[in-house]
Amino acid sequence: MHQLTIQAERMERRIEQLAAIGKISETGVCRLALSPEDREAAELAKSWMEEAGMDVRIDAFGNLIGRIEGQDPNAPALMLGSHIDTQPYAGRFDGTVGVLGAIEVVQTIAEQRIVPAIPIEVAAFCDEEGCRFNKGLFGVRGLLGRLEEGELERADKNGVTRREALVAFGGDPERFSASQYPPGRINAFLELHIEQGPVLESLGSPVGIVTGISGPLWWTVDLRGFAGHAGSVPMPLRKDALVGAARIIVGLQELASGEPGAPTVATVGSLRVFPDSRNIIPEHVQFTIDLRDIDLARRNELEAKLRQLIAAAAEENGLRAEIREDTNSEPRYCAEPILETIRASASEMSLTVPELMSGPFHDSLAMSYYCDYGMIFVRCREGISHNPKEFASGDDIALGTELLYRTALKLCGASSSMPTGGGLQDGP
C-alpha cells in the first residue's frame, strides 16, 4: 500500500472524459493535431487547468499552457506536461497521462495550500505525434524557436496545409515570435508518460525512471518509374516503383536486425502507390522510414548503408529516388540532478524503480535542447501503444502521478513533507 496525495479517481475520470473526444471504438481514439477534435480536447483540458487555479492561454503555435506563480514570480519556472493529440488509430493514454498528471500535480499543490518557490507551468504541446504533417514536436519546437523552413506549407493527406490547420485551430503564424520563450524562462522540464514498451511489465514494475531518449531519423522516400500495362510490358523492360520499394523495405528490416541485442528499430509505416490500379505498373511510390537508435554512431552507420540500399534498388529497377529528411535528432540523456530527485522521491514512496531508455521520442526530446529534463514512465499492458488496445491501469497511473507530484515539489523548492490531518488516501 502506498499513501497518495493526488486524487486517483479524478485522474481516471478525466482520462475517460478526454477519451470521449475523437472516440473511434470502445477504447480507440483519433484526435489528429490541429483538428476540431484536438481543439475540443484543448478546451476541456483548459477548463481543468483553470479549475486548478492556473492562468491559461493557447499560444500562437497551438500550445495550451497554464501557469501558477511562485514566491519569486521572476524565477525560471518548472514546466510539466506532454501532449493530447493522437495517432489516427490510438489509445487513451499516450501523452494524455502526462498532461492530466501535470494538471493533477498543480491542483494538488493548490489543495494542499502549498506555494512553490518558483512558478510552475503546465503544457499540452501541439502536434507531438507528427503523423498528420510528417513532422512531429511542432508546438514545443515552435516555443523554443526551433522550427524549420517550410513547415507551415507541409500538407496532410487531404491537401490541408499546417498553416491552414493552425489558423483554423486558433494559432497565428504572425505571432510566432511573441510566443517564443527566451533563454532561461524554464529551469527544468518533467514529463510523465506511458512506457509504450514491454520492459516495465516484464520486470513487474508499475513505474520507471527514464535515463535518455533514442535519436529518431525520419525520411520520406519517393521512387519514380514508369506506368505501363500490366499485361503487355515484359518483366525485363519494366520500371516498377513498387518493386524497388519492396526491396528497400525488406533490406531495411535486415539492416535494423543485423546486430543481435542492439536496440535499433526501423519501420516503414506509410506507403502510397500511384496510380494505384490493379493492371497498371506502379509509376510512383512514396513511403516513410523511421530509424531509431540510442547509439548515434551505429545509427549513422546504418543510415549510410540505407542510402546505398536505396540507390542500388533504384538503379536495378530504372527508378529515380528522392529522400527528404523530416526529422533528425541525436539521442538525448536526462539530467543527473533530476534523476537523483526522482530516485529520492521514489525512495520516499518505498518504490523500487527500474531505469530504462525510451525508444519513442517525446516533447522532452525538444526540451532537452533548452533546459534539463527528466521523465517518469508508467507500465502499459504488453507494451502496446499507438493502438486502441493500449492500456495502463488506474493504480499504475496514480503511482506515476504521485511520483511526479513529489518530484515536482522538490524541483520547485516546496517542502516534500506530507501534511498532517486529511488529504491522504490509500493507494494501490
Please enumerate in sequence order all residues whose Cβ is within 8 A of that of 294, keeping only pairs 6 or more positions apart, or say none.
Answer: 212, 214, 215, 263, 331, 357
> Are residues 31 and 88 part of one domain?
yes
For 180-329, strand residue ranges (E) read: 186-194, 207-213, 215-224, 265-267, 271-274, 284-293, 320-328
pLDDT computed for residue 252 by the predictor:
98
Tens of pLDDT, residues 320-336 = 999 999 989 888 999 99
The angle subtended at Cα 235 by Cα 229 and Cα 238, nearest 5°, is 60
| pLDDT computed for residue 97 by the predictor | 98
Q: How confident is the model at residue 422 (pLDDT cuts 50, 70, 90)?
A: very low
What pLDDT, on a 0 to 100 scale, did the predictor assign at position 3? 84
pLDDT band at 426 (very low <50, low <70, confident <90, very high): very low
84 shares a domain with 193? yes
| 81 and 221 together in one domain | no
64: left (phi over 0), alpha (psi -120 to 50) or beta: beta
Distances (CA, A) of 396 to 66, 204, 225, 379: 25, 11, 51, 7
Domain count within the chain: 2
368, 226: one domain? no
Q: Does the annotation list 193 as a binding residue?
A: yes
pLDDT for 423 equals 32
Sign of the four-CA dihedral 339, 340, 341, 346:
positive
C-alpha cell at 362: 517525446
CA dist., res. 333 & res. 164, Å (int): 35
H or E stretch at 110 = helix 96-111
Average pLDDT over residues 63-75: 97
Residues in CB range of 204: below 8 A, 6 or more apart: none
The boundaries of the domain holding residue 141 are 3-214+331-426
- Asked whether residue 340 is marked as a ligand-binding residue, the answer is no
For 213-235, write each residue's pLDDT tens digit: 988 899 999 999 999 999 999 99
Which of 349, 350, 354, 361 lies closest to 339 in space, CA to CA? 354
Give the mean pLDDT of the chain.
94
Give the CATH number for residue 259.
3.30.70.360
Directed axis angle between helix 36-51 and helix 8-19, to 10°? 160
Name the pairing type of β-strands 265-267 and 284-293.
antiparallel
**Contact, 118 vs 412, CB < 8 A?**
yes
pLDDT (0 to 100) of residue 240: 98
Does the pLDDT at position 104 exceed 60? yes
The pLDDT value given to residue 329: 85
Residue 94 annotated as binding site: yes
If pLDDT is split at 50, 70 and 90, which confidence band does 147 have? very high
Each residue of 4-59: pLDDT tens digit? Answer: 999 999 999 999 999 999 999 999 999 999 999 999 999 999 999 999 999 999 99
Do 25 and 93 fall into the same domain?
Answer: yes
2 is in an annotated binding site: no
Confidence of residue 169 (pLDDT cuts 50, 70, 90): very high
Say what the pLDDT of residue 261 is.
87
What type of residue sits at position 327?
T
- Rounded to two decimals, the pTM is 0.84
Coil, helix or strand at residue 344: helix
- Number of Cβ within 10 Å of residue 115's Cβ equals 13
Length of the chain: 428
Which amino acid is present at 178? A
* One domain, residues 296 and 310: yes
Asked whether residue 100 falls in the same domain as residue 207, the answer is: yes
Task: Evaluate if residue 386 carries a pLDDT over 80.
Answer: yes
Mean pLDDT computed over 229-255: 97
Q: Could you say which of 328, 353, 374 is where a domain stops?
A: 328
Provide the pLDDT for residue 336: 96
- At 99, is the secondary structure helix, strand, or coil? helix
Task: Kindly tell me if the per-residue pLDDT of 424 is higher than 60.
Answer: no
- Regarding whether 239 and 110 lie in a shared domain, the answer is no
The pLDDT assigned to 320 comes to: 98
- Residue 421 pLDDT level (bands cut at 50, 70, 90): very low
Output the domain CATH number for residue 86. Answer: 3.40.630.10
Q: Which of 334, 328, 260 is nearest to 300 (CA)?
A: 328
Please say whether the dihedral angle defined by the alpha carbons of residues 164, 169, 171 and 172, taken in this order, is positive or negative: positive
pLDDT score for 369: 95
Q: Strand pairing partners for 124?
A: 64, 82
Of 424, 428, 419, 344, nearest in space to 393 by CA: 428
Q: Is the pLDDT at 289 greater than 90, yes or no? A: yes
Angle 238-243-247 from CA coordinates, rounded to 5°: 135
| pLDDT computed for residue 215 by the predictor | 85
Last residue of a domain, one of 328, 346, 369: 328
Instruction: Take residue 244 and report the three cell numbers written for it.
Output: 524497388
Q: Which of 312, 328, 344 is the last residue of a domain?
A: 328
Smallest Cα–Cα separation from 374: which of 212, 153, 248, 252? 212
Q: Enumerate helices (H) and strands (E) in the chain, giving the number of each.
A: 12, 16
Contact 355, 211 (CB under 8 A): yes
371, 282: one domain:
no
What percentage of residues in the chain have a pLDDT greater than 90? 91
Same domain, 112 and 247: no
Hey, which bits of 59-185 come out as E strands?
64-68, 77-83, 120-125
Do 73 and 182 fall within a single domain? yes
Instruction: State whether 72 and 113 are in the same domain.
Output: yes
